[in-house]
Structure 1
Amino acid sequence: MSTNRNVTAGVLLIGDELLSGRTRDINLSEIAKFLAPLGVSVVECRVVPDEQDEIVAAVNHLRAKCDYVFTTGGIGPTHDDITADAIGAAFGQAVDVRADALEIIEHWYAKTKTPLTESRKRMARVPAEAILINNPVTGAPGFQTGNVFTLAGVPKIARGMLEDIADRIDGGAVTLSRTVATGGLREGDLAEGLGVLAKAYPDISIGSYPYFYENEAGEIVRGTNLVARSTDEPALAEVIEKLAELSRSVGGKPVIDPPDAK
């Protein structure tokens, strides 16, 4: 059940491949977009290597600070998949192959006619008191331990797992986001006025996001999108009008909530 309180989430991205640049993360964006309509705002994200002490420290920091925590990565079949052990250590729970998780994996591999090796059975290692999270993509489940949801690192799998947790989230007020597009204006044209508005409306998040691209004629097109976010819809509407007025005052032609804002 949603309330008007501010509900927060932290995201922990786990994996040496993320820190090396070999793999580009998109899980943070997907998790944040999934949570927003549920009234949960992501307030912090950390990236840590495949080292148990680092994972434990980050999990304990985030679960103490946030209402919910989402981890991605490190629950596969290989030697460096140590997230389950780290979560168990953070919560003081034993970790071993659990019968319920193994049954799911056995059924999946039998259905797909794939050999169930000892390495693959590692994916059934789950903290003793964790609640399983369904994996509709590859079968091997994620798990929830307290307020921490442990998901796979592969984006398609992580996104599929999220569908099993929506009813476990007690969300708050939904944060709304609106945009004023100001083609032709740069941040410097708007900076002073934005500062004034930010002080006048301290409870509303106001950001400026410049862009530029080359059009078909080879010309550089520039602009700045002004984005305001708040749980207070009337106040947000008021700020959006103020942002449009600011754009006009410095020679802009503002477009409110453009469908194709860059």
Structure 2
Amino acid sequence: MTHQPTAAVLLIGDELLSGRTRDINLQQIAQFLEPLGIPVLEARTVPDIQDEIVAAVNALRAKYTYVFTTGGIGPTHDDITADAIAAAFGVGISEHPDALRDMAARYAAMNTEFTAPRRRMARVPHGASLVANPVSGAPGFQMENVFTLAGVPQIARAMLEDIGPRLRSGAVVHKVTVRGKGLREGDLAEALGQIAQDSPGVGIGSYPWYGAIDDHGVALVARSTDPAALAVVQSRLEALARSLGAIPEIQ
């Protein structure tokens, strides 16, 4: 049996840490990888500081099968991710001829000047392979097990389509959600802990929701690569919900 591949996501940008920009890239990367059997096990957010990016990249690429970075590959002075990736791998960086050719043609077709700042987006670390960007043209790139994507969510999601075929898939994680309206975590905690203890191959989480006064409860989520084990846990979660007076809703 091959080792289960894993992933980490590194979100880069001062705007994320300041709260100015809301991140959705972590969610869409995790959702893209889940059907491939590649769980995201860690996410970090770092500022636009090269030493911080380098340290995070080197730590994550040594720990996980794949690392996905987002942000910092645009045309402005604070877009330093490409330089940081090059530094992390100890290689040089320069304009990639294929990226330069394709971007020049794209800007010419748009009747837009291909300025020096725009040319910066053609710079990639030496030895990296390009990741196609069908949205705006400026590519991402792959350096060994590290994939560098744009920060704009629409572009990052489009880049994932070019990355998918390069990834080694693992065992798909199946999941089921048992929602119980009116449930409270304090009432089910002890029994839920026992179910988790009895089911070492299944991950179980408890997620309360609060809507209106008459709309609250707990969603019990179970995940496993073993469908049979998952089915057993689902039955126990449904029984737990019923024992506390809730009608289980399966998702």
TM bucket (normalised to shorter chain) is: over 0.9
Contact 1:13 1:46 in 2 (8 A): yes
Counterpart Cα distance in 2 of 1:189 and 1:222: 14
Counterpart Cα distance in 2 of 1:231 and 1:4: 14
Counterpart Cα distance in 2 of 1:112 and 1:103: 14
TM-score by structure 2 length?
0.98
SS of residue matched to 2:35: helix
2:76 to 75, 78, 82: 78
Equivalent in the alignment of 2:114:
116
1:61-140 to structure 2, matched below 5 A, reads 61-140=59-138
1:1-262 to structure 2, matched below 5 A, reads 5-214=3-212, 219-257=213-251
Could you list the runs of 5+ residues in structure 2 that have no partner in the other structure? none
Offset, 1:97: 1.4
Counterpart Cα distance in 1 of 2:181 and 2:214: 12
Offset, 1:248: 1.1
CA pair 223-4 structure 1, distance change in 2 beyond 3 A:
farther
SS of residue matched to 1:190: helix
Offset, 1:4: 6.0
Counterpart Cα distance in 2 of 1:191 and 1:108: 58
Instruction: After superposition, give the CA deviation of every residue in 1:205-259 in whole Å (9 maximum; x if it has no partner).
Output: 1001111212xxxx431111100001001100110000001111111111222xx
Equivalent in the alignment of 1:260:
none
Alignment-mate amino acid for residue 29 of structure 1: Q
Counterpart Cα distance in 1 of 2:243 and 2:35: 34
Root mean square deviation, CA, Å: 1.0
Counterpart Cα distance in 2 of 1:26 and 1:177: 22
SS of residue matched to 2:215: strand
Could you list the runs of 5+ residues in structure 1 that have no partner in the other structure? 258-262
SS of residue matched to 2:220: strand
Contact 1:4 1:173 in 2 (8 A): no
Instruction: After superposition, give the CA deviation of every residue in 1:99-140 in whole Å (9 maximum; x if it has no partner).
Output: 111112111111222211110000011001000000000000
Offset, 1:187: 1.1
Counterpart Cα distance in 1 of 2:2 and 2:186: 36
SS of residue matched to 2:83: helix
SS of residue matched to 1:220: coil
SS of residue matched to 2:154: helix
Alignment-mate amino acid for residue 240 of structure 2: L
Alignment-mate amino acid for residue 198 of structure 1: A
Contact 2:201 2:226 in 1 (8 A): no
Identity of matched residues, %: 62
Counterpart Cα distance in 1 of 2:250 and 2:133: 40
Counterpart Cα distance in 2 of 1:112 and 1:35: 34
Counterpart Cα distance in 2 of 1:130 and 1:4: 26
Counterpart Cα distance in 1 of 2:230 and 2:198: 13
Offset, 1:5: 3.6
Alignment-mate amino acid for residue 226 of structure 1: L
